[in-house]
Amino acid sequence: MKDLKSYIRTVPDFPADGIMFRDITTLYGNPAALKHAVDLLFGHFRNDRVQMVAGIEARGFVIGGALACRLGAGFVPIRKKGKLPHQAVEESYTLEYGEATLEMHLDAFGAGDRVLLVDDLIATGGTADAAVSLIDHLGGDVVGAGFIVDLPDLGGAAKLRDRCEKVVSLVSFEGD
């Protein structure tokens, strides 16, 4: 298996000039690369007694669902505001260009459940931090956070380590 980084497409100037967008849909589209990514994340969290995997919309659903199956855990979607059909708790956070809100069902898991947070990429950490707040609000125990891609120069993974001691990324793109 080639390095996972080689399966990630870089799209210059998307969604704005000067941004190097890391597109993992090319990794997801390759069965061997997707399996390898799930296997690697599984290896990091297999002994953490994960009961629920919380995936952030939308690319986190793919890796989160697959990882939940591998861990023998349930899956919880963390969605953008207005997308969940039942009572939900919400958390707003600041983006570079405005504000966004995430939601999770109020009955997504029980208090004290061991929850693993996953997403495709961590950049500034605002979305992941809001997701941890949602999990905390419902009394979940965030046992870790897993990402395929880290953009370490933006500081998100380091920031998240203040709230979650086990933060794992499979690929790092420095300088972006």
Structure tokens at 149: 């891609």
In this predicted structure, what is the pLDDT of residue 176? 58
Helix residue ranges, H only, 29-78:
31-45, 59-71
pLDDT per residue over 67-124, tens digit each?
A: 999 999 999 999 999 999 999 999 999 876 779 999 999 999 999 999 999 999 999 9
Block residue for tokens 């898991």: 109
Check if 103 is active-site. Answer: no
CATH class of residue range 49-172: alpha beta
Mean pLDDT of 157-175: 93
pLDDT per residue over 116-125, tens digit each?
A: 999 999 999 9
* Count of residues in the chain: 176
Among residues 156, 135, 138, the alpha carbon closest in space to that of 147 is found at: 156
> Between residues 97 and 6, which one has the greater pLDDT?
6
Each domain of the chain, given as residue ranges in start order, spans 49-172
Q: Which of the residues 59, 79, 91, 103 is marked catalytic?
A: 59
In this predicted structure, what is the pLDDT of residue 67? 98
Helix (H), strand (E) at residue 159: helix 156-160
Q: How far apart are CA 88 and CA 83, in angstroms?
A: 10
Angle at 12 between CA 118 and CA 56, to 5 degrees: 15
Q: Which of the residues 22, 79, 96, 161 is marked catalytic?
A: 96
pLDDT per residue over 132-146, tens digit each?
A: 999 999 999 999 999
**The model's pTM:** 0.95
pLDDT per residue over 24-64, tens digit each?
A: 999 999 999 999 999 999 999 999 999 999 999 999 999 99
Check if 96 is active-site. Answer: yes
Rg (CA), the chain: 15
Mean pLDDT of 143-171: 95
Query: Are 118 and 67 within 8 A, CB to CB?
Result: yes
In this predicted structure, what is the pLDDT of residue 165? 83
